[in-house]
Amino acid sequence: MSSSDTAPRSSASGRRIVILGSGFAALTAIRELRRVGVREEITVVSPRDELIYLPSLIWIPAGIRKGDDLKVPLAGFFARHGVTHVKAEVQGVTDGGRIVETTQGPVSNDLLLIASGGRYIRKLPGIENAIIPCEGIKAAEALRDRLAALKHGTVAVGFGTNPNEPSAVRGGPMFEFLFGMDTLLRRQGRRESIDLVFFNPSSQPGQRLGPKAVSGLLRQMERRGIRSHLGHKMVRFEPTAVVTEGGAFDADLILFMPGLTGPAWLEASCLPRSPGGFIAASETCAVPGLERVYVAGDAGSFPGPDWMPKQAHQADLQAVAAARNMAAELAERQPDAVFKPELICIVDTLDAGMLVFRDTRRNVVLPRLAPFHALKRMFEARYLKAYRAT
DSSP per-residue codes, 24-89: HHHHHHHHHHHHTT--S-EEEEES-SEEE-GGGGGGTTTTSS-GGGGEEE-HHHHHHTTEEEEE--
pTM over 0.85: yes
Same domain, 35 and 147: no
What CA–CA distance (Å, rounded) separates 69 from 235? 37
Same domain, 166 and 177: yes
**CATH number of domain containing 266:** 3.50.50.60
Domain contains 335: no
Enumerate residue ranges in the chain where pLDDT < 70: 1-13, 389-390
Same domain, 109 and 40: yes
What CA–CA distance (Å, rounded) separates 307 from 208? 4
Domain contains 186: yes
Domain count, the chain: 2
Domain contains 312: yes
What CA–CA distance (Å, rounded) separates 365 from 300? 27
Same domain, 151 and 208: yes
Closest Cα to residue 229, out of 244, 214, 239, 211?
244
Same domain, 174 and 291: no
Domain contains 377: no
Closest Cα to residue 366, out of 350, 351, 346?
346
Same domain, 40 and 77: yes
Domain contains 35: yes
Same domain, 129 and 151: yes
Q: Which of 290, 309, 330 is the last residue of a domain?
A: 330
Confidence (pLDDT) at 268: 85
Q: Which of 315, 330, 345 is the last residue of a domain?
A: 330
Same domain, 108 and 145: no
Amino acid symbol at 85: H
In 3-state terms the chain splits into helix, strand, coil percentages (rounded to 5) of: 35, 25, 40
Domain contains 83: yes
Burial class from Cβ neighbours inside 10 Å (0-12, 13-18, 19+) for residue 57 reads buried
Domain contains 380: no
Same domain, 234 and 316: no
Q: Which of 303, 330, 357 is the last residue of a domain?
A: 330
Domain contains 154: yes
Confidence (pLDDT) at 3: 39
Same domain, 193 and 247: yes
Same domain, 312 and 275: yes
Domain containing residue 145:
122-259
Confidence (pLDDT) at 170: 87
Confidence (pLDDT) at 10: 40
Closest Cα to residue 365, out of 201, 209, 163, 205?
209
Same domain, 110 and 229: no
